[in-house]
Amino acid sequence: MLNSLREACGVFSAYDFEGGPIFPCIYWGLRAQNHRGHQSHGFVTFNGSFNTHRSLDLVPKIKRKDIQNWLNKLPGNVGVGSIRYTTSGGTDEESLKKGIQPVLAETEKVKVAVAFNGNIVNNSRLKRKIREKFPGFSYECDAELICRKLLIELMENHDLASSVTACMKEVEGAFSVTGITQNGELFAFKDPYGIRPLCCGHSINRKIYAASSETVGLDINGFEQGFEVEPGELVILSEDGFARQQLVPCKRRALCSFEFAYFARPDSRLGNNYVYEVREEFGRNLGREYSEIAKKADMILSIPETANDAAYGLHEETGIRWERATRRHRYVTERAFILLPRERQTTIDRKINILDRKLRGKTVIVIEDSIVRGDTTKVVIQKLRKKGAKKVHMFITFPRITSPCFYGIAMATYGELIGSRHEPQEIAKIIGADSVNYQSLNNFIEATGLKKNELCLGCVTGKYPTPLAQEIADEMKEKFEKGEKEIGRIYEIASGIE
Ligand code: SF4
């Protein structure tokens, strides 16, 4: 989608068993995953004490002359890093600064640093419980909740595994977590449904082990991928070596299916496949499902770049020319949603140049990964028509989004989703397309290489893997259907009613 969604973040952590400085490895692991979060970045390393750097915006480029300063500031052989888009807490600058991860929490005896990818559904209840122990606790992001929860468990003299088990049992939602204890242990764990990705790997000589949201974080460091952390599993790296423990049984796997369509980098691997392979198959599926429309088309356009692989698949299947009729202004990287709605039209001009000679009088298939609100797609279609396109058919790889997400993607209410209110033909009318054609759910699932019950498809089917999310969704839907006013981030409020 052009109007980018806020994702729940990306994490990377590593442990050098030979004591080498870990910062460069964490730095590159985060740079490779900056697509998962643009608002802030942070590093924590450990060399007997915790060292931190936390700042807004993208992970910065480091000039050669500054490398030593960074190494001095962040010494140690253990480190964790995070990039973030806020999906909880405020979005003003002050709140964003407070919400930068990794988060550190401490008491006199215990200290822990945590980086987190996901979203907590029962955050209100957790907040209340944590405030009983830490009255002054200022909640700015879900990572802080997890961090405090861990701290409480560790304080009560539990070991790391029992503390993480308590988190897994009491926290509902999506959480792929990595962090460091005051003893310099590095840990990584995933919620019992495995909603967000988290993989582990190591350097060829097995001197360094790492955990990363996506496999590209390992690739950029030249590491081999070892395994995907299992839902409910804890991985620990310490002076004693490397250990894996299944703490809580996995009731049902539920990897976010939207990762395949939009979030993950195409060169990351999810399940047994590269994401680009799955997206190519999405394109071939669309070609087969809508062959009658494809037959009459002159060209395929992929907007935005996340649809490139699907465009290639569609081109392979149909033989239709995949045209590069739009060009990106290479150094304009701001995401459309950062600006005010009235600025969106200009933003698209700033980001994309459309080549009228290629479009004049043509029937165009525009392939997109998804339609969430539809407002930016509408602007793009207007522009294509203005530049001379005769017909514009939308091919969408992700099935129609009809329901909100409670697991870290900024689609919080039914009302904001064009697909919750309208059928494809109506959507076409609203956004000014000749037709809107979604990939079927069955084909989508088959292309991922996973089974239906191994994926979260909540925003498409309205069936959520975790019970409280389902309860909140049903309640919200009832209100929405009665025409009652919805408010943003309603799940944070609704989860206070348990
Ligand atoms: S509801 Fe949708 S976006 Fe959210 S985790 Fe599930 S599949 Fe992903």
Are 77 and 189 in a shared domain?
Answer: yes
Answer for the pair 98, 89: CB distance below 8 angstroms, yes or no: yes
Same domain, 171 and 291: no
Q: What's the pLDDT band for 89 if we cut at 50, 70, 90?
A: low
How far apart are alpha carbons 269 and 396 in whole angstroms?
22
- Residues 45, 78 contacting (CB under 8 angstroms): yes
Q: Are residues 186 and 324 in the same domain?
A: no
Write out the H or E segment, with its range, that includes residue 454: none
CA distances from 453 to 446, 450, 456 (A): 12, 8, 8
Q: State how far the Cα of 148 lies from the Cα of 152, in Å rounded to an integer.
A: 6
Q: Are residues 200 and 321 located together in one domain of the fold?
A: no
User: Which DSSP string corresponds to 237-293?
Assistant: EETTEEEEEE-S--S---EETHIIIIIS-TTSEETTEEHHHHHHHHHHHHHHHTHHH
Q: Is residue 41 part of a domain?
A: yes
Question: Mean pLDDT, the chain, as a whole number?
Answer: 90
64 domain-assigned: yes
Asked whether residue 331 falls in the same domain as residue 374, the answer is: yes
E strand segments, 289-428: 299-302, 321-322, 326-328, 352-354, 363-368, 391-396
Determine the distance separating the centroid of ligand 1 and the alpha carbon of 61, expressed in angstroms. Answer: 32
Same structural domain, 476 and 407: yes
Instruction: For residue 294, give its domain range.
Output: 279-497
Is there a contact between 219 and 202 (Cβ–Cβ < 8 Å)?
no
Mapping DSSP to helix (H, G, I), strand (E, B) and coil, where does residue 152 land?
helix
Q: In the predicted model, what is the mean pLDDT of residues 278-299?
A: 98
Q: What residues contact residue 468 under an 8 Å CB cut-off, 6+ apart?
A: 121, 122, 172, 495, 498
The verdict on residue 264 lying in a domain is no
Q: Which residues contact 108 (CB under 8 A, 6 or more apart)?
A: none
Smallest Cα–Cα separation from 174: which of 146, 155, 202, 151? 146
Which ligand 1 atom minimizes the distance to the CA of 257? 7
Q: Which helix (H) or strand (E) holds 28?
A: helix 23-31
State how far the alpha carbon of 359 is from the alpha carbons of 207, 346, 386, in Å: 54, 21, 10
State yes or no: pLDDT of 225 exceeds 50.
Answer: yes
Answer yes or no: do 284 and 223 share one domain. Answer: no
DSSP-derived 3-state class of residue 407 = coil
The C-alpha atoms of residue 96 and residue 38 are separated, in whole angstroms, by 11
The CATH number for 65's domain is 3.60.20.10
Domain assignment present for 258: no
> pLDDT digit string (tens) for 236-274?
999 999 999 999 999 899 999 999 999 999 999 998 899
Pair of tokens at residue 188: 């990584």
Q: Would you say residue 478 lies in a domain?
A: yes
Is the same domain home to 317 and 465? yes
DSSP letter at 95 equals H
pLDDT band of 353, cuts 50, 70, 90 = confident
CA distances 315 to 22, 300, 312, 403, Å, are 44, 7, 5, 31
Number of the ligand 1 atom closest to the C-alpha atom of 401: 2
**What would the two tokens of residue 119 be?**
């979203």
Same domain? For 235 and 311 the reply is no
Q: Which CATH number is 319's domain given?
A: 3.40.50.2020
Asked if 332 and 352 touch (Cβ cutoff 8 Å), the reply is no
pLDDT tens for 373-419 read: 998 899 899 999 999 999 999 999 999 999 999 998 888 899 999 99
- In testing the pocket of ligand 1, which one of 456, 461, 463, 476 has its CB within 8 Å of the most ligand atoms? 456
* C-beta of 457 in contact with ligand 1 (< 6 A): yes
* Count of residues in the chain: 498
Same domain, 194 and 134: yes
3 falls within a domain: no
Residue 7: band (very low, low, confident or very high) from pLDDT cuts 50, 70, 90? very low
Same domain, 328 and 445: yes
Residue 309 has pLDDT above 90, yes or no: yes
Q: How many domains does the chain have?
A: 2
Task: Say yes or no: CB of residue 458 within 6 Å of ligand 1.
Answer: yes
What is the arithmetic mean of pLDDT over 419-424?
96
Query: Catalytic: 9?
Result: yes
DSSP 3-state assignment of 479? helix
In a domain? residue 274: no
Of 258, 460, 491, the residue with max ligand 1 atoms within 8 A of its CB, to mutate for a pocket test, comes to 258
Same domain, 399 and 339: yes
**Tokens, residue 166:** 């308590």
Residue 394 in any domain: the answer is yes
| CA of residue 174 to ligand 1 center, whole Å | 10
